[in-house]
């Protein structure tokens, strides 16, 4: 079986931002990267480089910055009012410290991570660029599993696409 749309794929790999540089991310056999091909879970060009491979196939490819997370954008660095980081009326100074990664949601409910750059008197400067924005990505690894998605996995993907939570929802979607 080869990698194609709607297959569940597991790979082991090493990721570098420089061909000979240090490994910045690694997936091993005990904890492989598993994803549903074509479901938008992975970078488009990452999946494109794996298409047609089968179990045991090795891969070694580069994603240029534009194919990965793009260039870092000044527009993704914003000042937020300090009061939105309050818990029970108190500023969360343990979590909101320079260098910390803070999970947040935008006004549409999409999850994203922000890096605290600076804590000011009334604002917190956050960087919402992906940590690998501006970098080329070098992947080297092996395909360890390719299989058909189960009906349960297909249903979960459909529900996710409709904005439903796993296990169904109580709202106006058709999951």
If pLDDT is split at 50, 70 and 90, which confidence band does 30 have?
very high
Alpha helices (runs of H) in the chain, residue ranges in sequence order? 44-50, 151-161
Average pLDDT, the chain: 90
pLDDT tens by residue, 78-127: 999 999 999 999 999 999 999 999 999 887 778 889 999 999 999 999 99
For residue 19, give both structure tokens.
């061909």
The model carries a pTM of 0.78
Rg of the chain over Cα atoms, rounded to whole angstroms, equals 19
Tens of pLDDT, residues 50-72: 999 999 999 999 999 999 999 99
For the chain, list the strands marked E by DSSP.
7-16, 25-27, 33-36, 58-63, 77-81, 86-87, 90-91, 101-105, 111-119, 123-127, 137-148
Q: Tell me the domains of the chain and their CATH numbers.
A: 7-69+133-150 (3.10.50.40), 74-127 (2.40.10.330)
Check pLDDT > 70 for residue 168.
Answer: no
CB atoms < 10 A from the CB of 36, how many?
19
Structure tokens at 55: 């179990």
Token output for 148 = 């058909």
**Position of tokens 């100074």?**
93
A 10 A CB-CB count for 86 gives 12
Query: With 60 as the cut, is the pLDDT of residue 166 above it?
Result: no
């Amino acid at each position: 079986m080869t990698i194609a749309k709607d297959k569940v794929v597991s790979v082991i790999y090493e990721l570098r931002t420089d061909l000979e540089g240090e490994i910045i991310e690694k997936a091993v056999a005990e904890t492989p990267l598993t994803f549903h091909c074509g479901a938008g879970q992975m970078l488009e060009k990452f999946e494109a480089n794996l298409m047609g491979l089968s179990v045991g196939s090795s891969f070694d490819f580069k994603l240029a910055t534009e194919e990965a997370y793009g260039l870092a954008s000044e527009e993704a660095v914003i000042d937020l009012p300090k009061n939105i980081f309050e818990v029970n009326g108190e500023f969360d100074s343990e979590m909101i410290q320079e260098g910390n990664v803070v999970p947040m949601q935008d006004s549409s409910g999409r999850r994203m991570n922000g890096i605290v750059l600076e804590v000011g008197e009334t604002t917190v400067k956050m960087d919402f660029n992906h940590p690998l924005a501006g970098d080329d990505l070098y992947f080297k690894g092996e395909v360890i599993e390719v299989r058909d998605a189960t009906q349960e996995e297909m249903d979960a993907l459909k529900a996710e696409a409709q904005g439903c939570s796993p296990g169904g929802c109580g709202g106006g979607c058709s999951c």
